[in-house]
């Protein structure tokens, strides 16, 4: 994923044009809906457009996001590629037009059509009334924890459900024959129970060959970190797997255990009993940077959904292309084979890419996740 540089000057020009498009759009709305300007008060039209017009539009319009996206110039800017975005060289934050940032913030805050464009808005508690992002220096005294929160920056905001659905669609497209990909909301224990049920049903329907289940899920309601698993089942024995491999994103080097090892063990034990602990093998990849309290928030790494999706896709490809390796190879051999088919994060030498490159790759993934949501809505409209 390479990105050409979009200059600050180019971004400012594009953003200025976008603000003009939104201003003209709102002027047209005002002319047609002069009885809906509940937040105008005694402001002039110019002041109203600069302050509350977009918020009034959201509050007084049915499907405001759809209405805005019907304007092709607006839709084109919001759905632009990363090559047409200026990212701050230090924080990684994209430079938005003022009305664009308001659009993202208001859509999230007002739950408009349940649209929350991934990573492009701040929490409602960090917004001004008009939908701008509040200056961190305006936070009340004693709010150091809120000031420090990673959600203030594009590169370190947690993923939302739209990202999980996007990754899930891509991964589940690889399902076929005896490869089953379980990538949906919920937790690991739920997916493991699904596997037992599916294996028993497959046996009842005459399936006798080994079945491969790739899981991507959060660990539990108490521990929301993502992990991936490969579970190989004989349908005739749905009560206990033939082989289990788990993938975490935080660790040093094999064979050290990842930080979430105990959570894997606990969830598997809950479903398959204590004996399963001796069967579980670790093929984790140390891709995620550990967040240290002293780091600037924009340096925090909240990209585990992308790392885990990459690991799940690699496991799925190995099921399709190298099932014998998964049945008979060592964990170390399987770990190495995964590296070869994870080019976003590994060099051809199977060494992990440097941290700056990984941050840039994830930044593009984040931008494209938001673009995917917008493109979906634009496709529905047109």
The DSSP-derived string for 234-251 is: -TT-TTS-SEEEEE-S--
Q: What is the average pLDDT across 84-113?
A: 93
Look up the pTM and report it: 0.91
Which CATH fold topology does 162-351 show?
A: Adenoviral Proteinase; Chain (3.40.395)
pLDDT level of residue 258 (50, 70, 90 thresholds): low
Domain boundaries, the chain: 8-157+372-381, 162-351
pLDDT level of residue 185 (50, 70, 90 thresholds): confident
pLDDT level of residue 375 (50, 70, 90 thresholds): very high
- DSSP class of residue 44 equals -
pLDDT confidence of residue 19: 98
pLDDT confidence of residue 11: 97
pLDDT level of residue 262 (50, 70, 90 thresholds): confident
Q: How many percent of the chain have pLDDT more than 70?
A: 92
- Among candidate residues 126, 127, 134, 152, the one with its CA nearest the CA of residue 55: 127
| Of 167-176, 253-262, 304-313, 318-327, the least confident | 253-262
| Of 92-106, 247-261, 263-277, 327-341, the least confident | 247-261
pLDDT for 250 beyond 90: no
Higher pLDDT, 259 or 275: 275
Q: 129 by DSSP, 3-state: which? A: coil
153: left (phi over 0), alpha (psi -120 to 50) or beta: beta
pLDDT confidence of residue 361: 96
Q: What is the average pLDDT across 42-48?
A: 91
Q: How many percent of the chain have pLDDT more than 90?
A: 70
| Dihedrals phi, psi of 186, to nearest 5 degrees | 125, -160
pLDDT for 41 beyond 90: no
Q: What is the mean pLDDT of the chain?
A: 90
151-174 as b/e: b if 16+ CB within 10 A = bbbbbbbebbebbbbbbbeebbeb
CB 170 within 8 A of CB 344: no
Q: Distance (Å, rounded) from C-alpha 347 to C-alpha 342?
A: 9
pLDDT level of residue 29 (50, 70, 90 thresholds): very high
Q: Distance (Å, rounded) from C-alpha 21 to C-alpha 313?
A: 41
Q: Distance (Å, rounded) from C-alpha 366 to C-alpha 368?
A: 5
């Amino acid at each position: 994923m390479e990105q050409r540089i979009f200059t600050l000057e180019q971004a400012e020009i594009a953003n200025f044009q976008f603000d003009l498009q939104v201003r003209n759009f709102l002027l047209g709305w005002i002319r047609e809906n002069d009885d809906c300007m509940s937040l105008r008060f005694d402001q002039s039209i110019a002041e109203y457009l600069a302050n509350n017009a977009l918020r009034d539009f959201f509050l007084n319009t049915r499907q405001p996001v759809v209405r805005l996206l019907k304007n092709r110039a607006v839709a084109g800017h919001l759905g632009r590629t990363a090559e047409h975005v200026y990212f701050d060289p230090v924080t990684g934050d994209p430079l938005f037009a003022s009305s664009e940032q308001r659009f993202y913030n208001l859509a999230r805050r007002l739950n408009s059509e349940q649209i929350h464009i991934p990573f492009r808005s701040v929490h409602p508690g960090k917004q001004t009334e008009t939908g701008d992002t509040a200056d961190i220096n305006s936070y009340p005294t004693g709010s150091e924890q809120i000031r420090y929160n990673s959600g203030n920056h594009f590169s370190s905001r947690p993923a939302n459900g739209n990202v999980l659905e996007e990754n899930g669609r891509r991964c589940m497209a690889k399902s076929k024959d005896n490869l089953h990909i379980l990538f949906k909301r919920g937790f690991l224990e739920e997916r493991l129970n699904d596997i037992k049920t599916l294996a028993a049903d497959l046996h009842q329907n005459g399936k006798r060959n080994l079945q491969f289940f790739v899981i991507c899920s959060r660990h539990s309601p108490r521990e929301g970190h993502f992990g991936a698993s490969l579970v190989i089942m004989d349908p005739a024995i749905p009560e206990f797997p033939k082989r289990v491999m788990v993938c975490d994103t935080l660790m040093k080097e094999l064979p050290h255990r990842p930080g979430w090892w105990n959570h894997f063990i606990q969830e598997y034990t809950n479903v398959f009993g204590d004996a399963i602990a001796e069967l579980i093998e670790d093929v984790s990849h140390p891709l995620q940077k550990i967040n240290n309290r002293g780091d600037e928030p924009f340096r925090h790494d909240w990209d585990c959904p992308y790392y885990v999706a990459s690991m799940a896709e690699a496991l799925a490809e190995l099921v399709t292309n190298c099932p014998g390796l998964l049945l008979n190879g060592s964990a170390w051999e399987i770990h190495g084979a995964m590296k070869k088919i994870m080019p976003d994060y590994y060099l051809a030498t199977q060494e992990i890419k440097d941290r700056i490159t990984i941050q840039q790759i994830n930044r593009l993934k984040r931008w494209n996740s938001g673009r995917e949501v917008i493109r979906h809505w634009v496709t529905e409209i047109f």
